[in-house]
Structure 1
Amino acid sequence: METSLRLAGDSKNLRIHAKEKLPLNSQTLLQAHGEIDTSSGAPSYLALIIRRFYPELSANIGVGVQLDGGNDFVYNVRGKKAFLITQTGRVGINIKGRCIGDKEFKLAKKSGAVELAWSIFNFQNDQDVRLKVGYDFFDKVPYLQVRENNWTLNACMNGKWNVRFDL
């Protein structure tokens, strides 16, 4: 099980997030997510997603259901395609999108982005770094992600940010 501590600038509440990936076959898995808000002790997010990987295409798709903190039950469809720029696979361009539908299958939210990703192994001794610079088409906002071993910082040009520590 993967667990992390998460903090976002807009909520100021620390959340404990857990994710379990259960393989269904060599290229398909069932992914379960859960999150607890430490200030209230209540679940703030629950999700169940089936993900299918296409390694020959450097792509994946996912379909699932989720229940957020407002107790809204929604459907989620997402996909991602990677285009490697270097032979080593350390620099690439990702194109990703997601649609969220409500209980009546009406489109409630959509997101789509293109990002440049650069992985730097052994940036310093035993320190790997990944940098992502992207642009969300629907929110019309550039964003940045810096990941160093267990720490991840996400920031958008609209002032939103979050930080995650993987346990």
Structure 2
Amino acid sequence: MEYISLLASVTPEILRIHAKQKLRIDSNTRLQLNGELGTKIGAPTFFSALLRHFSPGLSAKIGAAVQYDRREKLHYTTHAKKSFLLTQFVKFVVKGRCDFDKEFKQPTPSGAAELVWNILDFQKDQDFRLKVGYEVFDKVPYVQVREDNWTFSADANGKWNVRYNL
């Protein structure tokens, strides 16, 4: 399974173009490459190579990545995510992440708990997802609404973005 996903996102300050390609390594492992072009500066602003492994028996994902962004330069990240099915359409998700600088000296943890409600064929050929979460370390609630290719995300600090999957 190999495909390229293009995405445009708008925040109050900039329009960004994202590209993502997933390469299958085995049935449960993927290498995911992500890039971002900032239209304000006309140059790449982010790149990452992420190795993800899914454990179907545990409904869990783990991963490790090397990332570059123009502000923090080179850094590394690890993450884990576990889902618990509550009903046919609702699941509870716990996820954690830890970012490291290039010397592995300054770990920055983050974690969240989410309720995710997925409705396939909400209307004919239209899927819908509502995600309500709480970022534990920053103590910030957030919401995300996704309808097919459109995604709107916002948090209690006033940050928001709109994404369209091209």
Unaligned runs of 5+ in 2: none
SS at match of 1:144: strand
Alignment of structure 1 residues 13-92 onto 2, 5 Å: 13-70=14-71, 72-86=73-87, 88=88, 90-92=89-91
AA in 2 matched with 1:8: T
After superposition, residues 1-167 of structure 1 pair within 5 angstroms as 1-9=4-12, 12-70=13-71, 72-86=73-87, 88=88, 90-167=89-166
TM-score normalised by the chain length of structure 2: 0.95
CA–CA distance in 2 between the matches of 1:68 and 1:24?
26
TM-score by length of 1: 0.94
Decide which moves more: 66-75 or 29-38.
Answer: 66-75
TM-fit CA distance, 1:124: 2.1
CA contact (8 A) 1:3 1:18 kept: yes
Measure the CA separation in 2 of the matches of 1:55 and 1:162. 31
Secondary structure of 1:57's counterpart equals coil
Cα offset, 1:108, TM superposition: 4.0
Q: In the TM superposition, what is the alpha-carbon distance from 1:71 to its structure 2 partner?
A: 5.2
Q: Is the 8 A contact 1:83 1:92 kept in 2?
A: yes
Gaps of 5+ in 1: none
In terms of mean alpha carbon deviation, does 61-70 or 117-126 score higher?
Answer: 117-126
* Partner deviation per Cα, 1:96-116 (whole Å, 9 max, x = no partner): 011000011023422100000
How many residues were matched structurally?
163
Deviations 1:88-132 (A, max 9, x none): 3x2100000110000110234221000000011222222211000
The answer on whether the counterparts of 1:21 and 1:32 sit within 8 Å (CA) in structure 2 is yes
Cα deviation 1:23-80 (Å, max 9, x = unaligned): 1111111110000011211111000011011011110011010001225100010110
Is contact 1:99-1:107 (8 Å) kept? no
CA RMSD of aligned residues (A): 1.0
